[in-house]
């Protein structure tokens, strides 16, 4: 499939980490039929899944590889010049990143380091979220799942008791300084790669990929009306918002005689399901807006004119008691997805995102929110909802409470 990006976006350096074909989109027929039995889900909602867990040949495919595709060129181009005349610049030797104990992001960074022939150091915070504290088998939680895979990939795993992040006075700055003192040249990648200036570009590009797949699925007249995705650090959601804004701007500027259906299409709505209750929704909304505007500026949009807080839609009702904690509702959702459509979701992100999807359809929230045009409403046209599966299945084995 050919993905056509506008010139400004297409010129941005990208290092391929994904398959040459898009991650697949497929319907979820059993779950669709089950949820549409609810009298509140009228007109019908058709559910689809985009399988980012099938996006890359590298270990534990997931959404971070898309982000890293735009960060790798910066890693390869980044050199540090030693002081003094006649010294040579030194290339990056070590990727350093952080996350919670069962972080998917850290595994994907470790895998990219292998691809690039670099070392990797994975810093895991025991106090991030509540998963370790809630685990009935803490030694297993600290040893298996993503921790085990990071070590298999050759990463040096360091576990810290607190959950501080990089900055003055935190425990990570001394680690970076220690590496430099040893003669190594570290490249820091923040948790989830969201704080990196290029962190939102991968999912801005993914929006164009989804738009191209829509044409295969629905022809010129249809689209995915709502896109549901887990929202952790926030740049996946922000990138999608920016990408769809640019895509829709291009569609609106196209001659109407070439695609009359584009005139009546409504903006696609990205709905982020928050996965942690630590910060209020307003904090995450401001953060996602910042990420969306940062990506917008790079891909050719006017960040202030084209992106506003009205474009940010987050739902905090399914975050649970703590980040990474799998509660009874989560276990029920895991089982439901597995037994309805044979799809396995992860215990940290996609399980909460899917809980949100199920609620929005079953309880009629999607139809209340989606003000259908009168013509479409009279025809009882279905709404197409897309769930983005961001990966994370490798963490399952660490959750000893799952049977």
Q: Are 293 and 243 in contact (CB under 8 A)?
A: no
Query: Looking at 41, 56, 103, 276, which residue is catalytic?
Result: 103
| Tokens matching residue 305 | 């004119």
d(CA 132, CA 151): 19
Beta strands in 17-100 (DSSP E): 25-27, 45-51, 79-81, 89-91, 94-100
Q: Going edge to edge, which strands form the sheet with 186-189?
A: 156-160, 119-125, 94-100, 186-189
DSSP per position, 152-179: HTTPEEEEESS---SSTTSSHHHHHHHH
Burial 276-298 (b: 16+ CB within 10 A, else e): bbeeebeebbebbbbbbbbbbbb
Alpha carbon dihedral 145, 146, 149, 151, in 10-degree steps, equals -110
Question: Residue 103 catalytic?
Answer: yes
* DSSP assigned state of 393: G
Residue in this structure with the two tokens 């570009």, named with its chain if needed: 201
Torsion of CA 342, 347, 348, 352, to 10 degrees: 60
Long-range pairs, 132-137, Cβ under 8 A, ≥24: 132/101, 132/324, 134/322, 134/325, 134/326, 135/398, 135/399, 135/400, 135/401, 136/400, 136/401, 137/400
Element (H, E) at 142: helix 138-143
Q: Which residues are catalytic?
A: 103
């Amino acid at each position: 499939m050919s993905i056509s990006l506008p010139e400004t976006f297409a010129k941005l350096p990208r290092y391929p980490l994904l398959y040459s074909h898009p991650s697949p989109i497929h319907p979820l027929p059993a779950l669709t039929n089950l949820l549409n039995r609810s009298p509140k889900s009228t007109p019908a909602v058709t559910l689809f899944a985009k399988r980012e867990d099938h996006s890359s040949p590298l270990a534990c495919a997931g959404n971070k590889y898309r982000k890293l595709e735009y960060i790798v060129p910066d890693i390869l181009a980044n050199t540090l010049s030693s002081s003094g005349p006649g010294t040579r610049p030194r290339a990056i030797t070590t990727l350093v990143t952080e996350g919670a104990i069962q972080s998917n992001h850290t595994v994907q960074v470790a895998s990219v380091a292998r691809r690039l022939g670099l070392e990797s150091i994975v810093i895991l915070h025991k106090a991030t979220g509540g998963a370790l504290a809630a685990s009935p088998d803490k030694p297993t939680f600290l040893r298996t799942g993503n921790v085990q895979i990071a070590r298999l990939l050759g990463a040096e795993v360091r576990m810290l008791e607190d959950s501080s992040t990089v900055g003055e006075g935190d425990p990570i700055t001394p680690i970076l300084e220690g590496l430099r003192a040893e003669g190594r040249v570290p490249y820091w990648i923040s948790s989830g790669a969201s704080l990196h200036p290029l962190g939102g570009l991968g999912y801005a590009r993914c929006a164009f990929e989804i738009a191209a797949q829509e044409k295969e699925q629905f022809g010129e007249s249809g689209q995915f009306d709502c896109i549901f995705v887990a929202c952790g650090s926030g740049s996946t959601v922000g990138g999608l918002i920016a990408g769809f804004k640019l895509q829709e701007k291009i569609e609106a500027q196209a001659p109407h005689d070439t695609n009359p259906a584009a005139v009546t299409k409504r903006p696609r709505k990205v709905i982020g399901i928050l996965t942690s209750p630590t910060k209020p929704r307003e904090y995450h909304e401001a953060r996602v807006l910042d990420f969306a505007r940062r990506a917008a500026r790079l891909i050719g949009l006017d960040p202030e004119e084209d992106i506003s807080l009205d474009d940010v839609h987050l739902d905090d009702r399914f975050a649970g008691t703590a980040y990474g904690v799998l509660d009874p509702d989560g276990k029920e959702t895991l089982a439901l997805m597995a037994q309805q459509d044979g799809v396995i979701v992860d215990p940290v992100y996609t399980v909460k995102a899917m809980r949100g999807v199920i609620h929005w359809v079953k309880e009629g929230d999607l139809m209340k929110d989606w003000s259908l045009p009168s013509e479409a409403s009279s025809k009882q046209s279905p709404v197409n909802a897309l769930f983005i599966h961001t990966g994370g299945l490798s963490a399952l084995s660490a959750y000893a409470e799952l049977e």
